[in-house]
């Protein structure tokens, strides 16, 4: 006779236990056991009990006498859906993470060991309980005495093998409700509510019993009669009365005081209603296309390529409205909540309480509360950063990813997932639509759109025919030649002065200082680059060498420019602080603010700075990447980009793409209101195609050129890149292990007849960031065709896991990143 067996991932941090363990299932558990449930299992030699997650159940007809039995089910139902579980398992494979890390990403936030299922009384049963069984009545009796009871305690008290069925039955007829809670340091909050004791008595009758002089009491009764249950605070305010009056009504047994848990709701207060816009013809076309494709099951992946200010957000909003009408739910991903307050305000302003905002700064308790609100279907829309892609909706209709080109969608922690790929997978699993939006699509996404995998929708104009800003390129070599050694060109200086006079606002952008330094000639713009990889060489102070971090090529830095012979050949880089000091000195009358990691470490500081810009309290905002995202300030008419070269010369194959995106996005902040905008871009490389194409607002031409380079030098989307970083405290050991791991991988490749991949393996080399948090880091980079990548991944994973358990490699760790954002 066949039996049910279950595959369980145990919640144990050791990497060698990170695999499915098979357990037998007792007869009386068979029916209830589902994948996605937590269980208690005996584990290891001592058979100590440990919590785990069931990832699979199956019928099995072989011998099971060797198997241990699952001891107990910890949940009365799966805590995540089948699809979400599958998504987690898919991530593990795709991003080479551990089971546990992958599952943690999709499970409720917090420590899943601390989750408890509670049973509540929802509605007291009416007098007709004759249809209930003896056990069901017992359950009700227990709950009559307690507000709630944990599933575990209930099991202990009732002692019946079919208890889950009884609970389910009571839930179906609306008597019970079950819910999850997580142990957290954040206490629950309760709030007092007031209601009439008996809702079946007529108003006249209620009033007539109250003394004529007690008119406040009458008012309260009237109010409650009209409005129903009301928070105490609100009632006191609305009726303008005191606690005393409430107390006396309670004494008369007319009203009831009820304590209710307040879910910690992190939606910012005081957000104004965001009125619906009448769509322009082009917006309407976009919306209709998407809705039609979804309806007719034609396509369900879309890219809205719309210039800055073309009204993409309004399309998202109306799209969601339509889907909600059909009973669907929506997830909206934004790069980072605190940097995109305006986008969030629009969603909350349009849909109010129907929105949950998953802020990265929520406390553990708040995060869990939001998760529950979503799970219980109390909200229909979730807006959040990348992890919101796992929001536990049951009827997902759409995932929208705004600013899809942003690199914050890629996780830097395990599992190192890309939220866009995860979203796509989730949409496939749940039959939902995926909408990506941006003014500057990533090369990979646009490539797929051109190949017909994603439907492309283009918006070429700003709303109300507002013009795109004029982009002026300033050649900093000329500045030097005419004697200006300042970091501000004459043009930018003059434009700022002019703007101050006009009482308009200015944004000055400075790229976050790169981790590495490149060498360039200030006279002719020459950049030291690797011949093999087309990547800027990185200057290393320690040994005065130039290095390529892709192929490992080493060169001596030139003392005079190889191109023009000038001796103005320099290391590059300057900080926002320095720019701020200079601006304050040059324009003492201006109100200046700086927004970078140093000025925004405190909670709410982003919002405050942006609020000040909005209110006109700031004339000049100086910032890093933080200010590139979705800001819509009508008085900003000038954007200055201090040094386009910093991003242009990052030692990364995406540097051209990043530069184009940056110029377009930062520039796109200018001229969004009633006044035309201009952008001044300072650079030593005015002819570079990223800069030229950004100047002309010509994405397609930029793409056409960049895609050729990607093919030529074998980068995504043509190839997959895997970066393996080997790190540890002991410098010698790190390099030794790196070489050994490399050797083993090569050996495995040969065994598997994959020699052809060898030529596209680079390293082992010291990583661009050679030392990080006291760890020495080495790196191996693999490039492979999509077709070979899963075999390659498998080999890398096996070699690394195998090694991580060997004593010889104690203190050495491996970090694997599939298609990393950058290889710094």
Point out the annotated binding site for Zn(2+): 521, 524, 530, 533, 548, 551, 561, 564
Is 281 an interacting residue with respect to ligand ADP (CB under 6 A)? no
Closest to Zn ion by CB, 555 or 736: 555
Contact between 521 and Zn ion by CB under 5 A: the answer reads: yes
Total residues contacting Zn ion by CB under 5 A comes to 15
Q: What is the DSSP string of 181-200?
A: EE--SSPPEEEEEEEES-TT
List the one residue out of 126, 117, 110, 257 whose CA is nearest residue 186: 110
What is the closest distance, in whole angstroms, from the C-beta atom of residue 646 to ligand ADP in the complex?
25
Question: Where in 351-380 is the site for Zn ion (CB under 5 A)?
Answer: none
CA distances from 495 to 472, 499, 624, 628 (A): 11, 6, 20, 20
Q: How far is the CB of 671 from ligand ADP (least distance, A)?
A: 11
275 binds ligand ADP (CB under 6 A): no
Which of 277, 529, 591, 813 contacts ligand ADP by CB under 6 A? Answer: 277
3-class state of residue 756 by DSSP: helix
Residue 487 CA to residue 498 CA, distance in Å, equals: 18
Residue 603: partners with Cβ closer than 8 Å, 6 or more residues away: 361
User: In the chain, helix, strand, coil percent, each to 5?
Assistant: 40, 25, 40
Q: How many CB atoms lie within 10 A of CB 588?
A: 8
CB under 5 A: which stretch of 459-467, 527-535, 628-636, 779-787 binds Zn ion?
Answer: 527-535
Taking alpha carbons only, the member of 207, 265, 259, 253 closest to residue 232 is: 259
Instruction: Give whole-number Cα distances, 598 to 193, 361, 362, 525, 643, in Å.
Output: 44, 17, 21, 31, 20
Q: Return the ∠ at Cα 633 (arms to 630 and 635), rounded to 5°.
A: 150
Among 210, 267, 279, 564, binds ligand ADP (CB under 6 A): 279
Chain positions 457 to 476 lying near ligand ADP, rule: CB under 6 A, are 463
Site track for Zn ion across 542-561, x = CB under 5 A: ------x-xx-x-------x
Count of residues near ligand ADP by CB under 6 A: 15
In the list 313, 536, 655, 779, the residue contacting ligand ADP (rule: CB under 6 A) is 313
CB of 651 to Zn ion, least distance (A): 9
Q: Give the Cα separation of 653 and 659 in Å (integer).
A: 11
Residue from the set 114, 195, 534, 632 that interacts with ligand ADP by CB under 6 A: 632
| CA 465 vs CA 278, 310, 316, 679: distances in Å | 15, 9, 20, 18
Nearest approach, Cβ of 652 to Zn ion (angstroms)? 12
Residue 510 interacts, among Zn ion, ligand ADP, none and using kind-specific CB cut-offs from 5 to 8 Å, with none
| Residue 282 DSSP SS3 | helix
Report whether 93 contacts 106 (CB < 8 A).
no
- 271: contact with ligand ADP by CB under 6 A: no
Span of 301-309, 509-517, 567-575, 735-743 interacting with ligand ADP by CB under 6 A: 301-309
Q: Using the rule CB under 6 A, give the single segment among 305-313, 540-548, 563-571, 711-719 that binds ligand ADP.
A: 305-313
Q: Which of 294, 290, 410, 400 is nearest to 346 (CA)?
A: 400
Which of 129, 394, 532, 805 forms a contact with Zn ion (CB under 5 A)?
532
- Beta bridge partners of residue 438, listed in sequence order: 305
Q: Which does 256 bind (CB under 5 to 8 A by kind): ligand ADP, Zn ion, none?
A: none
Listed ranges 310-318, 328-336, 537-545, 745-753: which one lies at the site for ligand ADP (CB under 6 A)? 310-318
**Residues 468, 315: contact at Cβ < 8 Å?**
no
306 makes contact with ligand ADP (CB under 6 A): yes
Which of Zn ion, ligand ADP, none interacts with 306 (beta carbon under 5 to 8 A by kind)? ligand ADP
DSSP assignments along 778-816, one per residue: EEEEEEE-HHHHHHHHHHHHHHHHHHHHSGGGTTEEEEE
| Nearer to ligand ADP (CB atom), residue 83 or residue 314 | 314
Taking the complex as a whole, the smallest distance from the CB of residue 301 to ligand ADP amounts, in Å, to 19
Q: Is 96 left (phi over 0), alpha (psi -120 to 50) or beta?
A: left
Tokens of 672: 């969004």
- Give the C-alpha distances (Å, rounded to integers) separating 348 from 127, 277, 345, 357, 397: 43, 15, 5, 8, 19
Identify the residue among 166, 282, 312, 416 touching ligand ADP (CB under 6 A): 312
To the nearest whole angstrom, how small is the minimum distance from the Cβ of residue 681 to ligand ADP?
Answer: 20
Is residue 314 near ligand ADP by the rule CB under 6 A? Answer: yes
Nearer Cβ to ligand ADP (203/463): 463
Among 22, 265, 566, 752, binds Zn ion (CB under 5 A): 566
- Which is closer to ligand ADP, CB of 318 or CB of 520? 318
Beta-sheet strands, E only, within 218-319: 230-231, 255-262, 301-306
**Nearest 5°: CA angle at 703, between 702 and 708?**
105
By CB under 6 A, is residue 280 in contact with ligand ADP? yes
CB of 404 closer than 8 Å to CB of 436: yes
Part of the chain binding ligand ADP (CB under 6 A), chosen from 104-112, 246-254, 274-282, 684-692: 274-282
d(CA 195, CA 208): 18
Q: In what order do the strands lie in the sheet with 720-728?
A: 761-772, 775-784, 720-728, 812-818
Cβ distance to Zn ion smaller for residue 122 or 563: 563
Q: Taking CB under 6 A as the rule, does residue 311 contact ligand ADP?
A: yes
Q: Is 283 in the site for ligand ADP (CB under 6 A)?
A: yes
- From Zn ion, ligand ADP, none, interface partner of 526 (C-beta below 5 to 8 A by class): Zn ion
Contact between 769 and Zn ion (CB under 5 A)?
no
Identify which range of 142-150, 309-317, 405-413, 599-607 contacts ligand ADP by CB under 6 A: 309-317
Pairing relationship of beta strands 636-641 and 678-683 according to DSSP bridges? parallel
Q: Answer whether 332's CB lies under 8 Å from 396's CB.
A: no
Among 108, 309, 384, 686, interactor with ligand ADP by CB under 6 A: 309
The reply to whether 480 sits near Zn ion by the rule CB under 5 A is no
Residue 308 in contact with ligand ADP, rule: CB under 6 A: yes
Q: Nearest approach, Cβ of 404 to ligand ADP (angstroms)? A: 12
What is the contact surface with ligand ADP in residues (CB under 6 A)?
A: 277-280, 283, 306, 308-314, 463, 632
What is the contact surface with Zn ion in residues (CB under 5 A)?
A: 521, 523-524, 526, 530, 532-533, 548, 550-551, 553, 561, 563-564, 566
């Amino acid at each position: 006779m066949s039996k049910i067996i279950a595959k369980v991932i145990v919640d144990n941090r050791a990497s060698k236990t990170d695999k499915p363990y098979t357990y037998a299932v007792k007869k009386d558990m068979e029916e209830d056991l589902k994948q996605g449930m937590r269980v208690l299992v005996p584990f290891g030699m001592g058979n100590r009990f440990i919590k785990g997650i069931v990832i699979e159940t199956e019928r099995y007809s072989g011998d099971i006498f060797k198997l241990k039995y699952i001891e107990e089910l910890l949940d009365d139902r799966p805590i995540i859906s089948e699809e979400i579980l599958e998504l987690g398992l898919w991530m593990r494979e795709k991003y080479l993470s551990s089971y546990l890390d992958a599952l943690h990403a999709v499970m409720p936030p917090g420590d899943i060991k601390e989750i408890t299922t509670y049973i509540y009384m929802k509605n007291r049963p009416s007098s007709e309980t004759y249809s209930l069984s003896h056990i069901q009545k017992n359950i009700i009796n227990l709950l009559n005495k307690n507000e709630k009871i944990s599933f575990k305690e209930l099991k202990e008290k009732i002692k019946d093998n079919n208890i889950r069925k009884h609970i389910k039955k009571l839930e179906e007829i609306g008597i019970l409700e079950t819910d999850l809670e997580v142990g957290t340091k954040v206490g629950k909050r309760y709030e007092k509510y007031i209601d009439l004791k008996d809702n079946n008595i007529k108003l006249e009758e209620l009033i007539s019993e109250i003394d004529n002089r007690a008119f406040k009491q009458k008012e309260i009764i009237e109010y409650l009669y009209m409005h129903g249950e009301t928070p105490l605070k609100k009632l006191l305010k609305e009726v303008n009365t005191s606690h005393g009056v409430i107390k006396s009504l309670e004494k008369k047994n007319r009203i009831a005081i009820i304590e209710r848990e307040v879910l910690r709701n992190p939606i910012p207060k005081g957000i104004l209603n965001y009125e619906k816009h009448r769509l322009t013809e082009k917006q309407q076309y976009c919306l209709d296309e998407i809705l039609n494709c979804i309806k007719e099951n034609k396509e369900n992946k879309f890219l809205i390529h719309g210039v800055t200010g073309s009204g993409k957000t309004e399309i998202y909003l109306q799209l969601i409205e339509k889907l909600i009408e059909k009973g669907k739910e929506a997830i909206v991903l934004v790069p980072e909540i605190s940097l995109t307050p305006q986008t969030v305000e629009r969603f909350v302003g349009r849909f109010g309480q129907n929105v949950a905002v998953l802020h990265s700064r929520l406390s553990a308790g708040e995060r869990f509360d939001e998760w529950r609100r979503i799970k219980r279907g109390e909200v229909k829309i979730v807006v959040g950063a990348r992890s919101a892609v796992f929001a536990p909706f049951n009827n997902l209709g759409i995932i929208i990813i705004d600013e899809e080109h942003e690199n914050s969608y890629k996780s830097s922690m395990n599992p190192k997932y890309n939220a866009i790929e995860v979203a796509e997978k989730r949409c496939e699993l749940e039959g939902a639509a995926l909408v990506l939006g941006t003014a500057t699509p990533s090369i990979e996404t646009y490539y797929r759109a051109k190949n017909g995998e994603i439907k492309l929708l283009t918006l070429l104009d700003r709303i109300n025919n507002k013009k795109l800003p004029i982009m002026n390129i300033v050649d900093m070599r000329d500045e030097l030649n005419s004697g200006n050694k300042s970091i501000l060109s004459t043009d930018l200086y003059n434009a700022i002065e002019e703007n101050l006079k006009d009482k308009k606002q200015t944004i000055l952008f400075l790229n976050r200082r790169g981790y590495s330094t490149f060498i360039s000639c200030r006279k002719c713009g020459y950049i030291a680059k690797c011949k093999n990889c087309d990547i800027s060489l990185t200057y290393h102070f320690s040994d005065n060498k130039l290095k390529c971090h892709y192929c490992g090529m080493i060169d001596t830095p030139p003392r005079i420019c190889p191109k023009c012979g000038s001796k103005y050949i320099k290391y590059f880089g300057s900080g926002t602080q320095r720019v701020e000091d200079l601006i304050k000195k040059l324009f003492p009358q201006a109100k200046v603010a700086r927004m970078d990691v140093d000025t925004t470490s405190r909670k709410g500081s982003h919002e405050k700075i942006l609020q000040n810009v909005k209110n006109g309290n700031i004339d000049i905002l100086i910032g890093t990447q933080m200010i590139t995202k979705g800001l819509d300030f009508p008085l900003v008419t000038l954007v200055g980009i201090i040094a386009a070269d910093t991003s242009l010369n990052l030692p990364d194959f995406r540097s051209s793409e990043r530069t184009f995106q940056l110029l377009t996005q930062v520039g796109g902040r200018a001229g969004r209101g009633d006044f035309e905008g201009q952008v001044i871009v300072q650079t030593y490389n005015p002819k570079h195609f990223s800069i030229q194409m950004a100047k002309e607002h010509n994405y397609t031409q930029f793409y056409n050129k960049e895609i050729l380079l990607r093919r030529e030098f074998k980068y995504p989307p043509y190839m997959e890149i895997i970066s393996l970083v080997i790190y540890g405290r002991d410098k010698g050991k790190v390099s030794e292990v790196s070489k050994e791991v490399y050797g083993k991988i090569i050996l495995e490749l040969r065994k598997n007849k994959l020699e052809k991949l060898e030529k596209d393996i680079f390293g082992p080399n010291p990583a661009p960031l050679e030392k990080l948090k006291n760890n020495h880091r080495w790196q191996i980079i693999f490039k492979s065709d999509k077709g070979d990548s899963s075999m390659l991944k498998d080999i890398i994973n096996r070699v690394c896991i195998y090694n991580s358990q060997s004593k010889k490699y104690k203190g050495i760790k491996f970090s694997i990143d599939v298609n990393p954002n950058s290889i710094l």
